[in-house]
Copies of this chain bind each other. A is one copy, B any other.
């Protein structure tokens, strides 16, 4: 039993919330799973299809939308033969979702895999282990210490 009366409406409207807007651009599990494939470096239509078991027409639609929203782009590459083939890669906008994917992965590792890590994440330069988290100068901040208020620019 809580004696705190919960708030009646979120302090930021959907139209002004970066999170709600992001959820519109990455709206469903297929889109997340395609981002995961591209994060791993799987690039070809048929390979993505095989990996995540997505119907061809659905994959086709999601990829087109993701190109439109700027998350991914088509890229030509040589496959060792004389032929030029095409795949998909993350754009910078898409790559900027990597910390989100890593944070989600860590959450899955903790809560759905009994703490077993999916990947060893390290700094490419030094080999130091890497985690995703809330960051304060010098370290990770526990979520319970996070305070927030609508930003001061006045259009929330």
Binding site for B on A (CB under 8 A): 1-12, 14, 16-29, 32-33, 36-37, 40-44, 47, 50-53, 70, 75-80, 84, 87, 89, 93, 95-113, 116-126, 128-141, 143-153, 155-156
- Knowing A117-B151, A134-B132, A139-B135 touch, does A22 contact B97 (C-beta < 8 A)? no
Q: For A120, what are the chain B residues with a Cβ–Cβ distance below 8 Å?
A: 148-152
* Min CB–CB distance A112 → chain B (angstroms): 4
Main secondary structure of the interface of A (DSSP, over half): mixed
Cβ–Cβ contact A151 & B116, under 8 A: yes
Cβ–Cβ contact B103 & A12, under 8 A: no
- Knowing A12-B118, A52-B14, A153-B117 touch, does A99 contact B108 (C-beta < 8 A)? no
